[in-house]
């Protein structure tokens, strides 16, 4: 999946939910708010009517809170996905740079091995005049880091 594809059913980048889910969420929230407003202004209803309306309000309220949770939850999740995609792209960039460094290091080791073979000078100047070191230290390092 590329970084430009959407995981929310093809919604626009700025929206949280797509299509029917968004319509249902907004409708449920609007119905809940409508019931609240109606109950606030219908204060002269009987006790039985109030009890029944509160039961209806409670069930609509549960669905409305789920809809609000879906709206806010998808927004938060979308931000997390965007952050993780950015981290993944940065990791891929670092991995590519590390792969290039590995290839360059192997090329350098091969060049050192080719120009500094034991027993010949190869036109290379020794890095140390200490006879206790034995062979060429650069060649020894290349052989240790990149064994054949």
Q: What is the pLDDT of residue 93?
A: 93
Q: Please give the share of the chain, as a percent, with pLDDT higher than 90.
A: 10
CA-nearest of 5, 8, 6, 1 to 70 is: 8
Average pLDDT for the chain: 76
Q: pLDDT (tens digit, 9 = 90+) per residue, 80-93?
A: 888 999 999 999 99
Q: What is the pLDDT of residue 128?
A: 52
Whether the per-residue pLDDT at 136 is higher than 80: the answer is: no
Contact 64, 32 (CB under 8 A): yes
pTM over 0.75: no
Contact 16, 71 (CB under 8 A): yes
DSSP notation for 86-99: HHHHHHHHHHHHHH
Q: What are the extents of the domains in the chain?
A: 19-92
Q: What is the pLDDT of residue 113?
A: 77
Whether the per-residue pLDDT at 7 is higher than 50: the answer is: no
């Amino acid at each position: 999946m590329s970084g430009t594809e959407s995981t929310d059913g093809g919604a626009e980048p700025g929206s949280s939910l797509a299509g029917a889910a968004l319509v249902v969420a907004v409708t449920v929230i609007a119905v809940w708010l409508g019931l609240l407003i109606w109950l606030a202004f219908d204060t002269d209803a009987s006790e039985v009517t109030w009890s029944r309306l509160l039961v209806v309000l409670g069930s609509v309220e549960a669905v409305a809170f789920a809809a609000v949770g879906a709206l806010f939850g998808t927004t938060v999740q979308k931000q997390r996905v965007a952050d993780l995609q950015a981290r993944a792209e940065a990791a891929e960039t670092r991995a590519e740079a590390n792969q290039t460094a590995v290839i360059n290091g192997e090329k350098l080791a091969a060049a050192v091995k080719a120009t500094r073979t034991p027993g010949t000078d190869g036109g290379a100047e020794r890095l140390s005049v200490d006879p206790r070191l034995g062979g060429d230290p650069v060649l020894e390092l290349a052989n240790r880091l990149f064994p054949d």
